[in-house]
Structure 1
Amino acid sequence: MIADPARFVVEQTRLAPVAFVPEIELYQADEATALWHLTEAALDRADLPPPFWAFAWAGGQGLARHVLDHPELVRGRRVLDFASGSGLVAIAAARAGASHVAAVDIDLFAVAAISLNAAANGATIDARQADVIGSAAGDFDVLLAGDVFYDSGFAARLMPWLAALAAAGVTVIAGDPDRTYRPRIAVRDLAVYQVPVHPALEDAAVKRVRVLEVGFCEPLQTGLPEVPGFA
């Protein structure tokens, strides 16, 4: 049993610059499968999610780059980095001048990684283990989400909540490398980047990442045909 997630993160990763966002360093693993199996064995569980926290995923890299290059999106505002993973996007928001940054993830190891990565980059981030889908808007002005549309069930649960937040006045921005279940309507492109990725994680060395602003539309769906001018 792993008694100290932070120590496990440090022992299984190394601090290195992020390929597309070299201003930020993260504790990153060199290989995904071995770390995944090691975590399962140490916790005596075979149902754990992949170690999303140990890598800079394409959607997060693109979104972090966009936030750093367009700090007006978050400057002086309260930011929630949803499904934060490594905390990359949260760190970018803090660097860009957000007044408060919270980073949430359901994985305890991710929370440990976020705290370590924030400290390594001199960023102040409120890292919490929580499932916040369905919670009301109130303590954040901007929601950032990197690479969250990878699973049909998760996207179906997530999108109505994002739509409700947008309708309540929250700015909702996602970074997505053309995942299958990304929204095709009620979104607009803010930017498109060509992002280098870890060869063990993706089917290509470079992924096209769209930075999307999610707006309110009823009904909001995923998996629809391409809509000209949107996705």
Structure 2
Amino acid sequence: MGKNGDAAMSAGPVTRESVLAAALVIIDRDGVDGLSMRRLAEAVGRDPMIIYRHLPNKAAVLDGVAEAVFAELEVDAIDDDWTGQLRSVARSFRALALRHPKVVPLLVTRPLSTPLGSRPRAMVRPLEDILGLLTRAGFAGSDALHVYRALFGFLYGHVLNELQEVVERPEESDEVLRLGLYRLPVTEFPLVRELAPVLADYDGAAELEQGLDILLTGLTAHLAGPVVRRT
């Protein structure tokens, strides 16, 4: 074990993939702030200079971790049921977020800090595959892009909201007390206080499905829709 409780992986060669795997373990446990190049070297069981040969700095490690997690997201670009496939992608993205909650800020922010063409291919692959799925279904390219942006804008917001749901006093039976809403004057926040039972009964999976219903119904109604191809 390293000084900080990180398991040393001194056996076998050090590769970019093994370094990123160790970084993911640290972030999953301690968050982004808990990661340092020194801790990463201890986890891998090697001199820090070996780490720098594969990843020059912490920013590169964070980009690599985001890339590795994004690579787990699969899109079936030839699925004939485009709405069903988008639902599957959404559920898979939520599952990734729940497996790696402390990586979610990286998934949301790291791609935006890099021009699209300079991002790792694993980060761009979902865009390409969803565009392929939708254009194959008959959507115009620009409309397919609108669908992608709307879907991932919703997903980013959903997982951040779900992961940040905090129950202040879980032992309380009164929802206002459980959520700490007693701090909000009822005269100023009557609707929030009134919805305390609903707010306390947050179901991430159900919220995701309801949001997808609204999103996909709205997109289908607003856009021209797929062109039916005749054979």
TM-score of the aligned structures, taking structure 1 as reference length: 0.27
Richer in strand (by share): 1
More helix by share: 2
Q: Name the larger-Rg structure.
A: 2
